[in-house]
Amino acid sequence: MKTRHIILANGWTATFENIGEFRMGVEGWSLLLQGPDDQAIKYFADQIVLANDEDGNQANTCILLSVDGVYGYLRTAVDGDWVIDFARGMIAPHRVTIRHHHDVYDESLALYEQPAFKRVRQYLSVAGKHIYLTFPLTRDEDFPKLWEQYLAIRRRQLDELYFAS
């Protein structure tokens, strides 16, 4: 497996690891973020963040930082864009692809959207990009549970809105 280490301007290290082919002819790369004082953001360590990054260009450009280095914006090659709070070890989806398969109809649906959850509204500025965040920044270790809660609600909505007879 290939690995790339990139030191970000805020002192964190982004480690991208080639995790193999996930679609015909497309190799995926995961991401582990490690900071000072043994801080880490591990959510992306088993997610496909980059695709076919043979030359490392995507790895070098996919994370944008705020002027003070507190916030980051992760642009992935597959499922969307994320906000990272490096200071508190938190993440939130900004724009993502939601996929849902309905077993009865044997149909799938994919939507690219800005998740809105728990009445969150926060403005951030990262590398000159103004971001309106509508999903709560969540500690890395707590994020999978909250994300699954959101996806369960969203899938029920899609069942009612799209698949209802």
pLDDT, residue 24, reads: 84
Q: Is the pLDDT of residue 114 over 90?
A: yes
Q: pLDDT tens digit string along 8-38? A: 999 999 999 999 888 788 899 899 999 999 9
- What is the residue range of 40's domain? 3-163
Mean pLDDT (the chain, rounded): 93
Q: pLDDT tens digit string along 84-111? A: 999 999 999 999 999 988 888 888 889 9
* CA distances in angstroms from 29 to 32, 39, 106, listed in the order given: 10, 21, 30
CA distance 27 to 18: 7
> Who wins on pLDDT, 165 or 12?
12
CB atoms within 10 A of CB 40: 15
Provide the number of structural domains found in the chain.
1
Greatest C-alpha distance within the chain: 54
pLDDT, residue 78, reads: 85
